[in-house]
Amino acid sequence: MIAVIMAGGSGTRFWPASRRAEPKQFLKLTGDRSLLQATVDRIAPLVPIDRVIVVTNARFVDRVAEDLPDLPRENILGEPVGRNTAPCVALATAWTESRFGPDEVMAVLPADHYIGDEAGYRSVLAAAESVAARDGGLVTIGIKPTRPETGYGYLELGDEESAMQGHAVRRVARFVEKPDRERAMEYMKGGNHLWNSGMFVWKAASIRTEIERQIPDLVAGMNAFRDTRDLTAELARRYPAFPSVSIDYGVMEGAAAVRAIPGDFAWNDVGSWEALRDLGPLDEAGNVVRGDAVLVESHDCVVAGDGKLIAAVGVRDLIIVQSGDAILVCPRDRAQDVRLIVDRLAESGRDGIL
Report the interface residues with a copy of itself, using CB under 8 A.
15-16, 294, 296-297, 305, 307-315, 318, 320, 322, 325-331, 334, 337-338, 340-341, 344-345, 348, 353
- Minimum gap (Å) between residue 308 Cβ and a copy of itself: 5
224 vs 354, which CB is nearer to a copy of itself? 354
The sign of the torsion formed by the CA atoms of 5, 66, 82, 16 equals positive
Q: Pick the closer one to a copy of itself by CB: 241 or 327.
A: 327
**How far apart are CB 322 and a copy of itself at their closest, in Å?**
6
User: What CA dihedral angle connects 23, 24, 28 and 34, to 10 degrees?
Assistant: -90
CA–CA distance, 125 with 143 (Å, rounded to integer): 12
For a copy of itself, give the closer residue by CB, 31 or 151.
Answer: 151
Nearest CA to 136 out of 1, 251, 257, 261 is that of 257
Nearer to a copy of itself, 252 or 276 (CB): 276
Alpha carbon 74 to its chain's center = 22
What is the torsion angle, in degrees rounded to the nearest 10, for the CA atoms of residue 202, residue 207, residue 209 and residue 210?
120
CB of 41 to a copy of itself, least distance (A): 32
Q: How far is CA 111 from the centre of its chain?
A: 5
CB of 333 to a copy of itself, least distance (A): 8
- Beta strand 167-176 with 154-164 is antiparallel
Nearer to a copy of itself, 253 or 306 (CB): 306
Q: Which is nearer to a copy of itself, 8 or 305 (CB)?
A: 305
Q: Least CB distance from residue 341 to a copy of itself, whole Å?
A: 5
Q: Which of residues 64 and 310 has its CB atom nearest to a copy of itself in the complex? A: 310
CB of 316 to a copy of itself, least distance (A): 9
Using CA atoms, how far apart are residues 352 and 272, in angstroms rounded to an integer?
22
Which has the closest alpha carbon to 225: 56, 73, 89, 106?
Answer: 89
| Least CB distance to a copy of itself at residue 8 (A) | 26
Nearer to a copy of itself, 36 or 310 (CB): 310
321 Cβ neighbours under 8 A, 6+ residues apart: 16, 17, 273, 302, 303, 304, 305, 327, 328, 329
Using an 8 Å Cβ cutoff, are 211 and 86 in contact? yes
- Distance separating alpha carbons of residues 22 and 323, to the nearest angstrom: 12
d(CA 165, CA 167): 6
Q: Are 318 and 299 in contact (CB under 8 A)?
A: no
57 and 78 Cβ atoms separated by less than 8 Å: yes
The nearest distance, CB 181 to a copy of itself, in angstroms, is: 20
Shortest reach from residue 337's CB to a copy of itself, in Å: 5
The DSSP output letter for 208 is H
Q: Which is nearer to a copy of itself, 90 or 301 (CB)?
A: 301
CA 354 to chain centre: 21
